[in-house]
Structure 1
């Protein structure tokens, strides 16, 4: 089965806006790997913005790595956002529950509610949006809510991740019984083990965050493509600031000539 003709491009890196943050450690690690390999591994996945430019859906760390290396161009796979499935991750990590309670005490826009069931259903708190559910290994489960709209919700997710950013973190696929996998992984981390499931964002909400000049914290959104391109591209071409857009288009066309792509369903 052929993938057809995926929309692969080389575009100015400054035409891409991030929708999610990155960790410095991962970005520098990728920059070192790219530099040694001399290639970018797989195109960054982007979607067109309404007012010109692109939004990054997958590959924030790769973009950050390219920026560290001073690369002016990015190798991208352009997709239609409506064809992308958006879901979330569960983090299996460690966190002091008292730090979670302090977050509630210090910010009047954040509410922390202890609940009996492992996952929150459709119920909520009037005037507040669900940010995440924290399921501790000892059985305690908390719903974390925020008021103040979408941007505050995104920032609260960032504050929550900040409570465990220096501790072991494992992103677990929410599909295929991911909740139970994450809870079991959290139990293995000890008494402070916790599985944190973030509430889903819609595609429209992601775009609102980006258009407001904000970004979501790392590891919250998961964009899944039905068909994804796996292909490396030479770093020296992306490093060359003297090449014009026409030059880049010509070089890419030469590289792609005769290549037959095959579908790869990837959980981005």
Structure 2
């Protein structure tokens, strides 16, 4: 079988450690969908970290299942990537005056080491966003202050880190800086979480479409559940119901 399938596990929710927050509107949509479908469609992507499992992708799935009363969760265990990229956010209605007025933030038009993000408005040069306060908590507060300026209800389009997008009239493009894995581990160790949608991990051989029954995640022995999961995977493999794609995938949520 495909080696990535060996990384599928059923584990207890409390073993997972989050490094980023969630978006409440997105969480509500996902929770309703999972409840209606009765399955966890895709595994949460995790990496071993000091006896716990660091969530690389799937904070909303974690929160949704937690809210539905599940004590177990389907995960795919992978190696911690060497690099953590930053998403770009394209949105409308970000106010430049309000951005300049946030006390947690300092803005610079020049290249600035330690910048947390760059903000581009239509026809303008990039503004580098820096934290006014030092240390990890100062950086997290600054990131939260930046996202607090996103207009309520305005859709935020995520753009790949290397994507070349120019903001149109009334739009802003926020380019988030990358983090090192060590910095993320520092965030978790400090009991902090980053705002939602900042970190981007590239996971080779990501497993999708498992559709594990929700009833099997309510409670039980994780090892027994993992054994039944592997039997399910084996059956689907033998029935030729597993496909492997090397090319990029476009996914509707």
Q: 1:157 to 1:266 in 2, by over 3 A?
A: farther
Q: CA deviation at 1:165?
A: 4.9
**Distance in 2 separating the partners of 1:13 and 1:55:** 11
2:229 equivalent in structure 1: 252
| Distance change >3 Å, CA 217–CA 101, structure 1 → 2 | same
Give the match's secondary structure for 1:205: helix
SS of residue paired to 1:80: coil
How many residues matched? 241
Question: Is the strand fraction higher in 1 or 2?
Answer: 1
Question: 1:143 and 1:11 mapped to 2: Cα distance?
Answer: 41
CA distance in 2, matches of 1:204, 1:169: 28
Which residue in 2 is equivalent to 1:119?
none
1:35-72 CA-to-partner distances (Å, cap 9, x unmatched) read: 1111111100011111x121100011111111111111
C-alpha RMSD of the superposition: 2.2
Runs of 5+ in structure 2 lacking a partner?
A: none
Q: Indicate whether 1:155 and 2:151 are aligned.
A: no
For 1:136 and 1:93, how far apart are their aligned partners in 2? 10
- Structure 1: runs of 5+ lacking an equivalent: 116-122
Shift in Å at residue 232 of structure 1? 1.9
- 2:4–2:207 CA contact under 8 A, matched in 1: no
What residue in structure 2 maps to residue 120 of structure 1?
Answer: none
Distance verdict in 2 for CA 1:165–1:6, change over 3 Å: farther
SS in 2 for 1:150: helix
Stretch moving more, 160-169 or 56-65? 160-169
Q: Which moved more, 1:24-33 or 1:143-152?
A: 143-152
Within 5 A, what are the aligned runs for 1:185-264? 186-187=167-168, 190-191=169-170, 193-230=171-208, 231-239=210-218, 241=219, 243-260=220-237, 262=244
Cα displacement (A) at 1:164: 0.3
Secondary structure of the structure 1 residue equivalent to 2:196:
coil
Paired with 2:118 and 2:40, the residues of 1 have a C-alpha distance of 36
2: CA distance between counterparts of 1:57 and 1:2? 21
Match of 1:170 among 145, 157, 161: 157
Report whether the alignment pairs 1:97 with 2:126.
no
Name the structure 1 match of 2:107: 112
TM-score (norm. length: structure 1): 0.82
Deviations 1:232-257 (A, max 9, x none): 21111012x2x223431332122122
SS of 2:146 mapped into structure 1: helix
Q: Say yes or no: does 1:134 pair with 2:119.
A: yes
In structure 1, what is the Cα distance between the partners aligned to 2:115 and 2:43?
A: 33
C-alpha displacement at 1:154, in angstroms?
A: 2.4
Q: CA deviation at 1:3?
A: 4.2
Query: Is the 1:91–1:169 contact (alpha carbons within 8 Å) kept by the matching residues of 2?
Result: yes
Structure 1 residue 19 corresponds to structure 2 residue 4: no
Distance 1:247 1:265 in 2: 34
Q: 1:78, 1:2 → 2: CA distance?
A: 14
- Report if aligned partners of 2:100, 2:106 keep a CA contact under 8 Å in 1: no
Shift of 1:264: 5.1
